[in-house]
Amino acid sequence: MQVIPVLDLMGGAVVRARMGARDAYRQIETTLSPTSDPVDVVQGLLSVHPFSTLYVADLDAILRRGDNFPAPRRIRAARPALDLWIDNGAADEVGLQAILAPGLGAPVIGAESQRDGALIEAHQDSSRVIVSLDFHHDAFQGPETILRRPQYWPRRVIVMTLDRVGGSAGPDLGRIAAISSVAGVRRVYAAGGVRDAADLGALRSAGVAGVLVASALHDGRLSGADLQSL
């Protein structure tokens, strides 16, 4: 099972995500980095474990109030071997190509950013893009057609439970099981609610391909030894 650290970006800095309340996000304070600068935070995360992949959420772009594109460019320059999954709120091919064309990484199509299911259907069974199925307080955040047509999903699917991000409720195992049951051969990744190594064990038992993690790493509740054991 792959563990993927998350960087949430606002105003050029890494912020601490808490239960999807984006207006309340503040610049991160972590023992892993002296600053909230994205490159510094990445360096801190890699000091815990040699992660191969990083998830970057450009919250300003998702909220349609600018973007943080210099950050993934700087991360790519500093760590060229690191695979980046980037959610820039893409709702059309132009948004996807902003990531694909310069080779920044793999674009994430967030369900919450879609007007309909057309963009996801255009990348049916794709290995280049990733879909994030976003939920908040049990409600699907996006057009229902996306959820009803798993045959159009690309090969990698994130189950994102926003109200569990940075919280203490644990992973949304029921939701993950429901999505996995219709995902077929697609690789399912969990996001939101991981507190410690026990949660990683539960997710591994659930058969997920990977998990997105942030707070547990910055709080020291997941150690390098925990990750090595996976």
User: Residue 21: what pLDDT?
Assistant: 58
Q: Please give the domain boundaries of the chain with CATH numbers for all domains.
A: 2-228 (3.20.20.70)
d(CA 126, CA 157) in angstroms, rounded, equals 11
> What are the pLDDT digits (tens) for 56-90?
999 999 999 999 999 999 999 999 999 999 999 99
User: Residue 3: what pLDDT?
Assistant: 97
117 pLDDT tier (thresholds 50, 70, 90)? very high
User: Residue 12: what pLDDT?
Assistant: 93
Instruction: Answer yes or no: are the C-beta atoms of 210 and 159 closer than 8 Å.
Output: no
96 pLDDT tier (thresholds 50, 70, 90)? very high
Secondary structure class of 52 (helix, strand, coil)? coil
Q: Is the pLDDT of residue 141 over 80?
A: yes
C-beta neighbour count of 181 within 10 angstroms: 10
Secondary structure class of 191 (helix, strand, coil)? strand
> What are the pLDDT digits (tens) for 168-218?
789 999 999 999 999 999 999 999 899 999 999 999 999 999 999 999 999
> What are the pLDDT digits (tens) for 9-61?
999 999 987 765 566 677 898 999 999 999 999 999 999 999 999 999 999 99
